[in-house]
Structure 1
Amino acid sequence: MDFHKLLLDVDNALGEDEFKALGFLCADFLSRNPDSVRSLKELFSSLMDKELLSEKQPQLLAELLLTIQKPRLLRDIGLSEQDCAAPSLISSYRKLLYDLSDNITDRDLDSMKFMLNNLIPRGKLKEKSTPLDIMLEMEHLDLISESNLDKLEEIFNHICPALNKKITQYKEKQAHRLRSLSFPSESNLISKPFLRTGSLQSPVTIKDDVLESKANLKNKTVVVPEPPRAAEALGKYQMTAANRGFCVIFNNNNFSNSLEPLKDRAGTHTDEDSLKKVFEWLNFEVEIYRDCEKEKMLSVLKDLRGRDHSQMDCLVCCVLSHGLEGSVYGVDGQTVKIEEMMALFDGKKCPTLVEKPKLFFIQACQGTREQRAAQTDGIETEDKDICSDARVPDTIPSRADFLLGMATVPSYVSYRDKKSGTWYIQSLCRNLIQMVPQEVDLISILTQVNADVSKMSADKWGQTKQMPQPAFSLRKRVVFPIPKTPPPELKTF
């Protein structure tokens, strides 16, 4: 049978409620916005455009029909349970929410709306809202997520306690799955409370067995071992949108009018050029803002927060500036707290980015201490090519789906070459170029960045060092799709 004819038969056999159910189950494939498709035909077309459904790959269709309990229709169109993929293409979290909604009575639904009256806008709690509509809105407002079902449990305790057994079983399965994983480590999977990875409370001592120059780093070929198969069970954030997302770059160089005695950041335009090339290659829409004062930086981010990200996969923000602990400098010498920047994009303030990765890369110091084992933007001298972006307390993303990539650990400086840019940003860009085509996840790429930067030194004796630090509350792996165009060429010096 012609596959399009088969899909048309499915469309004719299902009603409006089944369409909404399939849209909800496919929300992860639709940038968390099932309303972006208005019919079952549009849903199937979208899945085929994303190469998730085809005549040779009918697994998703089979799984969808079985999930909504349509085994007879599955047989009628010539498919069977054996056509379902292993592992499942639909997340166990989304199946759980569907199962819960299917067991909520009209009376339970009215009680559920009443309990959410102060948390969800009344317009979203209209009379015709279904349990799936309510749960989807709770997701958009970051009231529930794959790793946090507390609010739902609290509601069910009052209106239908029996449903909490399903949530308990789901949690037990998730806990068992996480315990069985060997990659990444469990310390990086904790989301509530969130613990910073790689926390260092004392001066860093880096064992300097091998000193590697920047020239070697530029010409190096990274050999990436195949990750353990268990890593696949973690799941990946959806990266199927036509536009990956916005990438905003703040490049603060000219501090001549600063209230603080901060020097211009020679070499920063090399970082800007590298970031622009790499993230455009990764299919991001790059926007660059140069020499921004504090209020301008916040204004740009607030404008970014207010945009519609529903048809995008994630968000990237890069800041190139001087830094103070927990903050970065505007060119006016006033500081912007990193936590304040990130807080603008939590679930309640930016609902179209809920459950999507929000990636922040900060090239600025976190203090003025030098790591021993290159000089800082706070104590720069004119006769050195290597200088630092000195001066950022212990900054940790406290919300779900954030990553904060810092150029250095708390209390320490980071280094910038006046011609070839900063160690951290240049290593980040080169490793993205090397490892994205190998389908390596972002945390592994940042681990390689740590290894590269730790081998560099700001003095000929190899005693002045730098150690970057990623911190994150990601719940899945960030794996960028392999770009269809050749990788960009970065400047070499």
Structure 2
Amino acid sequence: MDFQKLLLDVGKALSKDEVKALSFLCTDILNRNPTCVESAGDLFSRLGDKDHLSAERPYLLTELLIIIQRTRLIRDLGLSDRASETRSLISPYRTLLYNLSEEINDAELKDVKFLLNNYLPRRKLDENVSTLELFLEMEHMELISDNNLNLLETIFQSVCPMLNVKISQFKALQGKRQKNNLFANLTCKNKDGEPSRHRRHGWIYSVSSCFLDLDANVFHGGDDCVALSHQLSGLNTETSPCASLDGHCKCRAALGIYPMTAAKRGICLIVNNYNFNSDSHQKREGTILDEECLDKVFAWLGFVVEIKRDCKSEEMLSVLRELGSRNHSLMDCLVCCILSHGKEGCVFGVDGNHVPIKELTKPFNGLNCTSLADKPKLFFIQACQGTIEQKAVNICTDGPARSDDSIPSDADFLLGMATVPSFVSFRDIKKGTWYIQSLCQNLVQMVPMGSDLVSILTKVNADVSQMTKSVGVRKQMPQPAFSLRKKVVFPIPEAPPPSLPH
């Protein structure tokens, strides 16, 4: 009865258009025309009859509400904790069509219908026919399908070219799935002749284990980087068919791009520690400006921004673990920004206790957060990594030093550090930190150019280096370390970029 009451409450909260959207998303599950669905209650009953929705299995409801961006309704009804890490029931193709429909305005829809005059009956192009209904008719006439979107691309090229970016990203995702299926069907034998436990993601596990064995200096640049290629070339081919770069498999696929097709890009968590209880750490004046800029930029990029302020060390860990326990299956990636005092390999809570950076990234590795597997996890750390510094007017630093390895030991991570080990990072008490301000400015300038994230961070390195020289202090050099396997390219937002301080 409680679950039925919950479904009733959801139905009352949804508009007619939202019910139609949910019905459209469930087309493949119900195996029938969604126009037959009369109400939210009717839809939920049909899903229940097919054992897709029940008190024991409410996951589909949460997934549907996330897709149509009714996240507040999820929170209000206490559904957020019900999310599952099981495979999504809604196909990426169906989600793509819904997301495309949300981006088409009335004028553009008229143009689309005009271009379809030679393909569809005129009554199917009436003014009252919605975008989703139009897509359904195109499917019915076999004009589009999950592996044939050519006509849609041709039409969008004339009406709204930006939408073809979403289709291209969807195609990239489909290609990735096909490759994964190919790897899944390969039998990898271990030394005892038994199939490998890591068959599906064998090469990912091999590269990850290689990272565990590497000295941290490999990621710090210089001649030691040569060690990385030696480690990779020595991977045992018995672990994975593609483990050895020069092995018999000879995988030479071009560097791909992580798919970015979800309605929401992902969660962007900002942990901003300003007011420290410890006598050994001063207030981090200027950090509020960093928080505001990060909030504006990542919201512009399509992220749902969450902000936590003045966290003790245990609170920081708790916040990250809770975020890692969520279902990210309908998200493209994760961003986490830590603004605090720090020392090498660690950041401080406001209680003065340190937290190893590896403990902050651990909740999101492939074993602890399966819904983020194969997706980029991006961490930006504004904190000192040592004590070496020189005087500067109106400049504060973010903390003292101790050696520790901070590189995440799993695939698909990027760790953007404000400075290299043993050095301080600098914070202007009026303008914010050099690193975060440069990061935000370059994201705003370079994302619309189609630049990938590593290229953007390279520009950040150059800018911060020039800034430090110009005010006469010891050079600060940011340090990106990563185990990314593809390029991170954010889709170009339709909204104008946010205004940032200069």
- Shift of the 49–362 alpha-carbon distance from structure 1 to 2, 3 Å rule, reads same
Change (3 A) 1:479 1:100: closer
2:408 to 371, 394, 397: 397
> Secondary structure of 1:425's partner?
helix
Shift of 1:411: 0.5
| Other-structure match for 1:301 | 320
Cα displacement (A) at 1:388: 1.5
Letter in 2 for 1:61: N
Structure 1 residues 270 and 360: alpha-carbon distance in aligned structure 2, compared to 1, 3 A threshold: same
Q: CA deviation at 1:102?
A: 6.5
Which residue, out of 190, 198, 221, partners 1:199?
221
Say if 2:259 is the partner of 1:238.
yes
Provide the C-alpha distance between the structure 2 equivalents of 1:247 and 1:268, rounded to a whole number of angstroms.
17
Shift of 1:368: 0.5
Q: With structure 2 as the length reference, what TM-score do the two structures score?
A: 0.58
- Say if 1:96 and 1:313 are closer, same or farther in 2 by CA, change over 3 A: closer
CA-to-partner distance for each residue in 1:115-160, whole Å, 9 max, x for gaps? Answer: 79xx7xxxxxxxxxxxxxxxxxx7xxxx743843769xxxxxxxxx
Measured against aligned partners, the alpha-carbon deviations of 1:311-365 in whole angstroms (never above 9, x if no partner) come to: 1111111111110111001111000100111111111111111111111100001
Task: Identify which of 454, 461, 480 aligns with 1:470.
Answer: 480
Bigger drift between 235-244 and 416-425 goes to 235-244
Q: Hey, what's the Cα distance between the residues in 1 that align with 2:360 and 2:450?
A: 29
Give per-residue Cα distances to partners, 1:26-82, cap 9 Å, x unaligned: xxxx9x9894236xxx6643343355998899696159xxxxxxxxxxxxxxxxxxx
1:386 equivalent among 389, 395, 400:
395
The 1:331/1:99 distance shift into structure 2, 3 A limit, reads closer
Compared with structure 1, are the counterparts of its residues 232 and 290 closer, same or farther at alpha carbon in structure 2 (3 Å cutoff)?
A: farther
Select 1:327's aligned residue among 334, 337, 346.
Answer: 346
- Name which of 264, 268, 272 aligns with 1:247: 268
Contact residue 204 and residue 411 of structure 2 kept, 8 A: no
Tell me, in whole angstroms, the C-alpha distance in 2 between the residues paired with 1:100 and 1:407: 38
Cα 1:408/1:61, change in 2 over 3 Å: same
- Name the CA shift for 1:98/1:62 in 2 (closer, same or farther; >3 Å): farther
2:492 to 482, 488, 492: 482
Which residue does the alignment assign to 2:204?
148
8 Å CA contact 2:297, 2:498 repeated in 1: yes
CA separation in 1, counterparts of 2:183 and 2:313?
46
Contact 1:344 1:350 in 2 (8 A): yes
Matches for 1:77-476 after TM superposition, within 5 Å: 89=172, 94-99=177-182, 144-145=200-201, 147-148=203-204, 196-199=218-221, 233-255=254-276, 257-258=277-278, 261-370=280-389, 384-391=393-400, 393-457=404-468, 460=471, 462-476=472-486
Aligned counterparts of 1:96 and 1:488: Cα–Cα separation in 2: 38
SS of residue paired to 1:428: helix
Q: Do the aligned residues in 1 keep the contact of 2:365 with 2:410 (CA within 8 Å)? A: yes
Q: Give, in angstroms, the shift of residue 389 of structure 1.
A: 1.3
Tell me the equivalent position of 2:234.
none
Whether the 8 Å CA contact 2:183–2:200 is kept in 1: the answer is no
* Partner amino acid, structure 2, of 1:389: D
Counterpart residue type for residue 237 of structure 1: Y
Q: Give the 3-state SS of the residue equivalent to 2:315 in structure 1.
A: helix
Matched with 2:88 is: 36
Alignment partners' CA distance in 2, 1:93 and 1:243: 20
- TM-score under structure 1 length normalisation: 0.59
Q: Check conservation: 1:145, 1:355, Cα contact below 8 A.
A: no
Match of 1:49?
A: 98
Pairs aligned (count): 332
Higher RCO structure (Cα 8 Å, ≥6 apart): 1
1:243 & 1:234 partners in 2: Cα distance?
A: 24
Distance 2:185 2:222 in 1: 48
- Residue aligning to 2:127: none
Name the % identity: 50
Unaligned runs of 5+ residues in structure 1 are: 13-29, 64-84, 120-137, 152-189, 203-230, 376-382
Cα deviation, 1:363-404, whole Å, max 9, x if unaligned, reads 00110113xxx65xxxxxxx9311221336342122101000
Aligned mates of 2:386, 2:263 — CA distance in 1: 40
- Partner Cα separation in structure 2 for residue 237 and residue 352 of structure 1: 15
> Once the two structures are superposed, what CA deviation does each residue of 1:70-96 show, in whole Å capped at 9, x if it has no partner?
xxxxxxxxxxxxxxx9xx846666435
The answer to whether the 8 A contact 2:265-2:303 is kept is yes
> Aligned equivalents of 1:92 and 1:192: distance in 2?
29
1:34–1:480 CA distance, 2 compared to 1 (3 A): farther
Output the CA distance in 2 between the equivalents of 1:467 and 1:57. 53
Letter of the aligned partner of 2:425 in structure 1? Answer: S
Structure 1 470/99 Cα, relative in aligned 2: closer, same or farther at 3 Å?
closer
Q: Determine if the alignment matches structure 1 residue 61 to structure 2 residue 147.
A: yes
Equivalent AA in structure 1 for residue 95 of structure 2: S
Q: Equivalent residue of 1:488, what SS?
A: coil
CA offset digits 1:200-222 (Å, max 9, x no partner)? 699xxxxxxxxxxxxxxxxxxxx
In structure 2, give the amino acid aligned to 1:397. Answer: P
User: Per the alignment, do residues 234 and 34 of structure 1 end up closer, same or farther by CA in structure 2, a change over 3 Å counting?
Assistant: farther
Contact 1:37 1:43 (8 Å CA) reproduced = no
Judging changes above 3 Å, is the alpha-carbon distance between structure 1 residues 271 and 238 closer, same or farther for their aligned structure 2 residues?
Answer: same
Kindly provide the amino acid, as one letter, of the partner of residue 423 in structure 2: Y
SS at match of 1:433: helix
Higher helix share: 2
2:329 and 2:371 in contact (8 A); partners too = yes
On the 8 A contact 1:237/1:478 being kept in 2, the answer is yes
- Distance change >3 Å, CA 341–CA 100, structure 1 → 2: closer
Q: Which amino acid aligns with 2:409?
A: S
Matched letter for residue 289 of structure 1: K
Q: Is the 8 A contact 1:394 1:410 kept in 2?
A: no
How far apart are the structure 1 equivalents of 2:324 and 2:183?
A: 32
CA distance in 2, matches of 1:342, 1:436: 25
Would the alpha carbon gap of residues 296 and 34 (structure 1) be closer, same or farther in structure 2, given more than 3 Å must change? closer
